Amino acid sequence: MTHITKLFLVATLFIAAACAAPSAANAQPGYGGPRITCSSNDGRRNWCDIGGARDARLVRQISGSACVRDNTWGIDRRGLWVDRGCRAEFVAAGGRPGPPPSSQARVVTCSSNDGHRNWCDVGPSRDIRLVRQISGSACVRDSTWGIDRRGLWVDRGCRADFRVR
């Protein structure tokens, strides 16, 4: 091979390697915390605690109402906020590290929107307490909400915030 051909081949490999490597601008470091469900109930603004985090990423929209950053959800000094019916799961990022996940409490909103049983992911935790009923339908432990091997369940129109440890 000639010297120019070798240089061309090396340059081509170098460019290909640079293009294949993930860029730091596309990476999203620090988005690895627990999922936080935050809900705008009755179309009103609601804030959810994200600890010392300074940012969050929407990972799953639950509501039929749109969840659009800086429009129906965002971050301010009070925490993560949702508005105008947005209900979604978020992952927080940045800020001060919190306590280890095993001791950290989080709030999960679980809803039986269609009157049927629905399960919400709470991980391996079984230390769950109802902290705020949202629905007009009753939320009664072991009747319209409970815990089984699949997780936290709600039924017959129960919609509430639950503290999970």
Q: Give the pLDDT confidence of 63-96 residue by residue, as tens digits.
A: 888 888 899 999 888 888 999 999 888 888 865 4
B/e letters for 40-63, b = 16+ CB within 10 Å, e = fewer, are bbeeeebebebbebebbebeeebb
pTM: 0.44
Is residue 19 classed as helix, strand or coil in its secondary structure? helix
Enumerate the domain spans of the chain.
35-164
As a whole number, the mean pLDDT across the chain is 78
Among 27, 43, 144, residue whose Cα is nearest residue 85: 43
Q: Are 145 and 153 spatial neighbours (Cβ–Cβ below 8 Å)?
A: yes
Instruction: Write the CA distances from 45 to 22, 33, 35, 93, 118, integer angstroms.
Output: 37, 23, 20, 22, 25
Model pLDDT, residue 24:
31
CA dihedral over 103, 32, 120, 57, signed as positive or negative: positive
Reported as a single tens digit per residue, the pLDDT across 15-36 is 655 554 433 333 344 556 678 8
Is 80 exceeded by the pLDDT of residue 164? yes
For residue 7 the two structure tokens come to 């240089």
